[in-house]
Amino acid sequence: AQSVTQLDSQVPVFEEAPVELRCNYSSSVSVYLFWYVQYPNQGLQLLLKYLSGSTLVKGINGFEAEFNKSQTSFHLRKPSVHISDTAEYFCAVRGWTSYDKVIFGPGTSLSVIP
């Protein structure tokens, strides 16, 4: 079974400042890793995913994440945030087999302050 932890429930940051949203996971099997973003009153949309290969993954809207197997982490970063990045961010994991469910973290609410 897998589990996901997002230690920060809320992250306020000033516009144009860098941000890091933390995600740690536990799993007894190999996993795929995802970050989703949810803008107000919308569903979730995929930001980026790690499947294999390079541990640094680039996504949409200037976000990137780094997979660290030894620390079982998949932290999300952006060097300079914009007001429009204000949203809820969810880290998720899924095992490699077709019938594995996606396990979501509790989410981190990012608030960008002008």
Partner 1 sequence: DVKVTQSSRYLVKRTGEKVFLECVQDMDHENMFWYRQDPGLGLRLIYFSYDVKMKEKGDIPEGYSVSREKKERFSLILESASTNQTSMYLCASSHRDVANQPQHFGDGTRLSIL
Footprint on this chain of partner 1 (rule: CB under 8 A): 9, 32, 34, 36, 41-46, 49, 51, 90, 94-102, 104-107
Q: Which is nearer to partner 1, 97 or 114 (CB)?
A: 97
Closest CA to 110 of 77, 70, 62, 74: 77
- Shortest CB 17 distance to partner 1, Å: 25
- Shortest CB 15 distance to partner 1, Å: 25
Q: Which is nearer to partner 1, 15 or 104 (CB)?
A: 104
**C-beta of residue 112 within 8 angstroms of C-beta of residue 86:** yes
Closest CA to 32 of 114, 97, 107: 97
Q: Is 107 left (phi over 0), alpha (psi -120 to 50) or beta?
A: left
- Shortest CB 23 distance to partner 1, Å: 12
Q: Round to whole Å and give the CA distance between 62 and 82.
A: 10
Q: Which is nearer to partner 1, 82 or 101 (CB)?
A: 101
